[in-house]
Structures are given as C-alpha cells and as structure tokens.
Chain A
C-alpha cells in the first residue's frame, strides 16, 4: 500500500541570508500533528522555528522565518525540523521526497528519499527529520514534499530499521558546559539507556556529571534534558547543617510513570572535598520532587586520577542536590541532681547529647556554673547517635545557674557549711558509665597558665602599629 500526501512548502527557499540552526532538541511526542494516512503522522519539533501545523491541520515548513533567507551558493542542513511517527500496530517503511532535487530529507544523517533508503518504524516509534537545501545550482523552486509509507511485515521488511540506521539510538543535542539534551529514538522497557553527560559541570570542574542512565517502564521514545541549577534553587536541605554543593535538574516530556529508574554517576575532585572539608562518605544526593525532599543513596564506586566517582540511583526525575553532610552536635536536655546539696556533697550534672547532622563529628561540651566553665569533655558521635555526658562537681556554697553545653540544667543551691568548694569534674561519653562517679578517681582538670596565642599576636601587631603611627606623626610638617 502506498499513500501519497502533498504538503505545503512555504516561502521562497532561495532568498539570500542566514538561517539559525535549531538550538535544542525537540521534546517530541506532544502537541498537534499532521495525520498522514497509513498510520504515519508528522509533528513539528516543539522548539523548531521552521515547522508549524497550520490552521488547516497541515504541516507547513518555512525555512526562512523573519525574512532572513538562505545562504546563496551553499548547502544548508536544518536539523530535526519535524518528526515522523508511526501510529499503526505493525511496521512501516517511510521515505520523504520533494519536487526538487536540491531539497532532500535525512534521518540521523542518512538520506531517506527513496523506498530503498526509507526508515523503518515500529508501533509508536518516531524519528526526527532534517532538511538539506542546496542553493549552489541557483534559485530553488519547491512547492511540495511527499511522505511515502508502506506497511512492512517484520520478516519481509528490507528497509533499514532505526537501530540499523543510527546505531546507538541516542542523540545528544545542544551540549553546553552546564546542560545536555538527549533524544532516545527507541528505548526498550527495563533496559537502561546510558546518556553520556561526561564533563557536564555541576560545580565548576570540581564536580561533573559523567553519566545518566535511564530505564523506561515501557517501550518508546524519550527526551531528556539535564542542566545545572543553583545549589540552593530548591530551598534549604532537610538535614541539619548539610551544605548544598551543586544541583542538576532533570526533565522529560514523558510521563513520570514511564521512568522506572535513573542512575547518576558524578565525578568529584578529591582536592575539592578537602577544600570543602568533607569526606567522600559524607556526600549525599537529595531529590526534591513535588515540594518534598528525599535522600538518594550515593556510594563511591571508583577512584582515578585524583577524582572519586559517586553513583546514586533514583526512581524518577526532578531536581537533585549533591550535598556534604555535617555533624550537628548539641545538648538536647540537661539536669542537675540533687538540686539542693549540702556543703561538700558531690553534685551530678548530666546532659543528653545528640548528633542531629548527617556526618560523624566531635564537640567539646562544657559544664558551666553561672556562665563560668568549670569542666569540659570531648564527645564523638556518629550521625544520628546520642549519648549521655556526666559531670561530678562540688561547688562552694551558693546558688548557681547550671548549664551543659549552653543548655539549661536548672538551678543548684549549695548550702553553707565547712567546705570551701572544689570542682573536680569529668564526664563520660559512654552511656554505660553514665552514673555519677567519685570525683577523686577521675582525671584531674588541666589548668594551664596560658595566654591565647592569637591575642598575644594581636598585641604584637598593635604595638607595631603604635610605633609606625608615632613615626608617621613625627614626619608630618609642624606648621
């Protein structure tokens, strides 16, 4: 069966001028189309300025928009001007011809202007068509193009299939430093399609997206856009203290339900990790989708030439933020026991310390009486871990406001007596040792007689400035 369809080819193709090449790939399978009989339809590329569906429902091509015209005496290729899609339930061989030898049509760089060179399409399969225009032979006179289609049985079809013609059926378009656009002509359900994003900047050259692998839930075409966005464009991260390093936005014209899985592979410079003071193990990928955050498992999968490779797998597209987890260690609650003590009676002060951050860390927790530090101890906690610190102290008689790590533990009243007060306090970072212990057995508190190095250096600088100022003042004219 051969069907024949005449299309309007608008405007004079021979006008002199310059044509802009289409700058981005077409998110294809939506929008109006021109139904050609035989189950083949024509769709203008969504971002193409050359193809439109006219009021009569027909595809119209205008290769000289805005009167810019064509370059004379040259060959011009207009990439991905429109799409051919087969909507039938068998297979079709499709080719396109014009009424001038100077206008030819191509799919994936190969001409499709005869039955022998036609493109073979399966159900719901679509291919972008480019237009090659030759003005070296003088003015053009083109009015019609013709789309030919023929039903082909799988076992008898001898026309080239899309896969045969284009090899890997993935097209990368409009690659820039911070964005990529991909068109997958045919993706099989459940089979991952690797999209080569190598070198795409996420954080300058320090973090790059090397590969995005997409798995469709059903067979069909796929258009994927990846671009770098501001690290904080999705708003504050859900984890306490986590620092957003960079973010990418992944979009598709397909339904979210058609995306089963997306796997990212980032490359991160180890020097950069040092510069932002984080370990590879503390890198996390956050996904921001429908206004909600979720954490995507990220693992280091390799290391080469001073760079780490981090892989993360998500079940859909949206904005993804690569973040460095930080410790957020704080004292959640504190208490003092007893609240009223006799002179010389040891008092136990406990504090519940929690690391609410996503990374392990250390912090020195201080016991203060009326704001004066009387003892300190270091606490090391993994992410999400908590512990109890315990101090034992025997203050002088009086009333004190007690705090652990800045968290109020309540008031303490020490009654008058013979004792003149000692503070021998130390704590335990281990819950099993949380009970009050005898101060005499504990490590003595270090009491260095010292001056802050920065303060002494500051005084030195100040003295140098004084001397310099006096010398300058003395050089000023007296009159």
Chain B
C-alpha cells in the first residue's frame, strides 16, 4: 500500500492548498443541471422519467435528474452538497483526488443506467425519477475516503481493508431501520453487524505505531468526525421505515443499489491497485 508519513500541517493552510476552484465549479454544475431540468415544463419532466413498463435508454439516464416537486429537488440538492462536498474534502486532503474524480464521473454518467436497469428486475407499473440514487452512490464512496483520510492525516494504522467495516455497519443500520421486523431482517442485520466488527477488530488490536506526527489535530479530526457522522446518519434518513410519500412510494431499492455499487466498485479497484495516492508532500505543496 501507499506509504503514509510526514508532519501534519495546520488544517486551514492545507485546506487552502488542496481545494481547487475548478473542482468546486465542476461539482456545483450538478445542482445547476438539476435546477435547470426542474425549470422545464412539467409535461417535459414527466416525459423524462423512467416508466418501468415502457423503458427507454434515454429515460433510463434522464430520470435521475428529474424532480416533480420543489421539496424533492431541494432535499436532493442539499444531500448532494453534503455528501459530495464532504467527500471531496476528504479525498483531496487524503491525496485521493483522482479516485474521487473518476468515481464522480462514473456516478454521474454510468450509475443512472445501472440503477434504472436493475430496477427493471422487479417488473411493476411504476415510474421512477429523482437524484437520490446517485446521492447514495456518493455515500457509498465515503467509507473508502474516510479510511484513506484517517490513514493519511491522523493514524497510519488505519488501512483500506478496514473500509468494509464501515460499509457493513451502514448495512446493519439499514436492515434495522428499513426492514419489517422478521427473522430474515434480524439475520441480515446480525450478519452485517458481525462483519462490521470483524473488519474493525484488526484495527483495535494493531500494535503498529501511529505514524502521523506534528501539530495539533485541530481541523483534521473535525473533518473526520463530520464525515463519520454524515456517513452514519445517511442510512437513517435515506431508508425511512415508512417509504410512502404523497402520491407514491420512495424507491429505497434504488438507494440501496446506489450505495452498494458505489462502494464495491471502487473498493475492488483500489484493492487491484488501479489508483495511486498522491504523496503527502505533493498534496500539501502549494500549487
């Protein structure tokens, strides 16, 4: 794995050097597109939604950028700013800008097709639309970014192989809050919880030295805590026990698919060594 080392610079200075205006502008394009689509006439927006009984390749993609109600749009824009924003900060400070950029492009360009296609596996007379499946993909990336950030900036004992622990912890929460109480749901929650603990145990028992040294953890630790809280809160808000909403039913299946796909694919890619971390000195150096 990548070697993590070096002094921990002041957080604000590192943040100023790492965040790039171009990246922020590109990320803000997404809410812009969502709002732009919302500005289209209602009939046009309806025609862009994905009808499971009459699927087309175009609507399989466009449906994920369509919102019919302003509250739906606002919630998804806010969720995107939180998930993608925190994800970007973690990634860029962990030297994982390339991973984040590739993942973002994949989530925005390919994941919509995957989500729509997999929804066809359960045939029903329904119509799907909304961005939160893609939002949940950004949530799925968070475990990888959190461990990469923690290893680079706070504690070198944290390894990529600990990320599935966070992933399974979220799955356990989903099973508890979203599934009806049954032997199956208890079993799923139990297995996920055991898996989460199993992945975390090696970290607790590790006697390797903490490699990160230097100045205070001020700022660095804050971002980690914010990322963890956001990540662990996501399954509670994205998988409500009563998915009925006015005029329809929330597509929690799309949420779960987005979350799982977005974790598994980049995790495998990282394990295969397809992405290299930027050295710490390069991250902290002024552009």
Contact = CB atoms under 8 A, between A and B. Distances in A.
Interface string B197-236: 0000000000000000000001001100110011001101
A460 B127 contact: no
B74 A453 contact: yes
B180 A467 contact: no
Contact of B127 (A446, A450, A466): A446
A452 interface: yes
Interface residues of A, number: 41
The listed residue with most A CB atoms (<10 A of its CB), out of B64, B74, B127, B236, is B127
Given A459-B230, A460-B78, A450 B130 contact: yes
A445 B75 contact: no
A448 B251 contact: yes
A449 interface: yes
A214 interface: no
Nearest to A453: B75
A444 B243 contact: no
Contacts of B251: 447-449
Interface stretch (B87-95, B131-139, B264-272): B131-139
B180 A370 contact: yes
Given A444-B53, A466-B226, A373 B127 contact: no
A440 interface: yes
Main secondary structure of the interface of A (DSSP, over half): mixed
Contact of B130 (A371, A374, A449, A457): A449
A305 interface: no
Interface in B53-101: 53, 64, 67-68, 71-72, 74-76, 78-79, 82
Contacts of B237: 451-452, 455-456, 458-459
Contacts of A471: 222
B260 to A, nearest CB: 15
Contact of A445 (B74, B135, B234, B248): B248
A439 B78 contact: no
A98 B225 CA distance: 96
Nearest to B135: A451
Interface string A360-385: 00001010001111111010000000
A315 interface: no
Interface in A423-479: 423-424, 439-440, 442, 444-453, 455-460, 462-463, 466-467, 470-471, 474
Contacts of A364: 246-247
B124 A450 contact: no
Interface in B27-58: 51-53
Nearest to B233: A459
Contacts of B221: 470
Contacts of A459: 82, 230, 233-234, 237
Contacts of A439: 125
Nearest to A471: B222
Give the contact-size bracket for chain B. Answer: 35 or more
A37 interface: no
Contacts, number: 142
Contacts of B218: 474
B179 to A, nearest CB: 10
A449 B126 contact: no
A272 B135 CA distance: 43
Nearest to A371: B180
Given A448-B251, A453-B71, A424 B238 contact: no
B26 interface: no
Given A449-B254, A451-B79, A442 B240 contact: no
Contacts of A453: 71-72, 74-75, 78
Contacts of B225: 466, 470
A420 interface: yes
B89 to A, nearest CB: 12
Interface string B178-195: 001000000000000000
B82 A449 contact: no
Contacts of B78: 453, 456-457, 460
Interface in A24-73: none
B122 interface: yes
Contact of B128 (A376, A378, A447): A447
B250 to A, nearest CB: 6
Given A422-B124, A446-B249, A453-B75, 10 more contacts: A373-B244, A422-B122, A422-B125, A444-B51, A446-B127, A446-B129, A447-B251, A448-B251, A459-B234, A463-B226
Interface of A: 364, 366, 370-376, 378, 420-424, 439-440, 442, 444-453, 455-460, 462-463, 466-467, 470-471, 474
The list of the 5 closest CB pairs from A to B, nearest first, reads: A446-B248, A373-B244, A424-B125, A449-B130, A455-B237
30 contacts: A364-B247, A366-B244, A373-B244, A376-B244, A376-B249, A442-B125, A444-B53, A445-B249, A446-B127, A447-B126, A447-B129, A447-B248, A447-B251, A448-B128, A448-B250, A449-B250, A449-B251, A449-B255, A450-B250, A452-B237, A453-B74, A455-B240, A456-B78, A459-B234, A459-B237, A460-B78, A462-B229, A463-B82, A466-B225, A470-B221
